[in-house]
Amino acid sequence: MPTALVTGGAGFIGSTLTRMLLERDYDVRVYDDLSSGSEEHLDGLDVELVVGDVRDLESLGRACGGVDTVFHLAAGAGVVDSIERPIENFDLNARGTLLALWAAKQAGVRRLVFSSSNAPLGDNAYPASEDKPVAPLSPYGAGKATGEAYCSAFFGAYGFEAVAVRFSNAYGPRSGRKSNVIPLFIRRIMAGEPLIVYGDGTQTRDFVYVTDLAGGLIRAAETPSAGGQIYQLASGVETSLNELVAMLGEVSGRPPQVVQEPPRAGEIQRNYSLIDKAREQLGHAPEVALRDGLQRTWDWFQTI
């Protein structure tokens, strides 16, 4: 039976990944400090939960014991939070990834899959691809770029099979604690509050349903040739915020009021990912169209 450690496994993406690993007959251990994740996300799952911080090397090393694969999802929050608290964000994202790599290597883990994003690319992120130079616009992006660099360094220096995968904007069930745009907009629609759009709404993102993303993570872990590589995991579809608002109005049956505010510093105007490399090398093939995924996500929010 293959064994996996999922750091951040009680969170939104991590708990979905944990479910899919169990369906593939993995023995799963979750490592989470529960600062943003929740034990409720693991209810009814046959997993071992270790409560710990990714900055605690000793605890992390014990959690890596006897594990084949580490999925490193634990991280600090996104762009806006990193601008307000850059040192804490570095400690969680850059140093935390280095410690996860070192703990995994020392414990004899076969492969670590690091969850990055398009933020390292900055203005080069349109469209995002693996061969573009990094030029982050935020401390969050710099921390993720550092994590990618350490994955490359561990592969080069130690032959350790580290793989970096760049997420686009994930959404789906169990995202109730997330502050990114889709769960935020859904909560505001449910509360009868206006949606705040920073800029004119023409800015674009690539929204990927959480099960499509988790499936890509598993393929990155299981594909023999993936060691030392970077992959874009996304839908490959560019969607504007204005289009997103219209779809949310359709699935909710509540056309929202929109209030426009000035654009925020450090945010990318246009963003979507080319997924050719992940499609060809990993077999990554997103299955859930945005409108269907929004309907599933809206329906889940009605249950909490």
For residues 60 and 66, the answer to whether their CB atoms sit within 8 Å is: no
Within a 10 A sphere around the Cβ of 177, how many other Cβ atoms? 13
DSSP secondary structure letters along 13-50: HHHHHHHHHHHTT-EEEEEE--SS--GGGGTT---EEE
Within a 10 A sphere around the Cβ of 287, how many other Cβ atoms? 11
Enumerate residues 6+ apart whose C-beta is below 8 A from 26: 1, 2, 3, 4
Q: Which residues pair with 114 in a beta bridge?
A: 72, 164
Enumerate residues 6+ apart whose C-beta is below 8 A from 269: 126, 199, 203, 204, 263
- Selecting among 140, 171, 209, 231, the annotated active-site residue is 140
Query: Among this protein's residues, is 140 annotated catalytic?
Result: yes
Alpha carbon 44 to its chain's center: 23
- Which tokens hold the place of 108? 């004899």
User: Tell me, what amino acid is at 289?
Assistant: A
Q: Which residues pair with 282 in a beta bridge?
A: none
List active site positions. 140
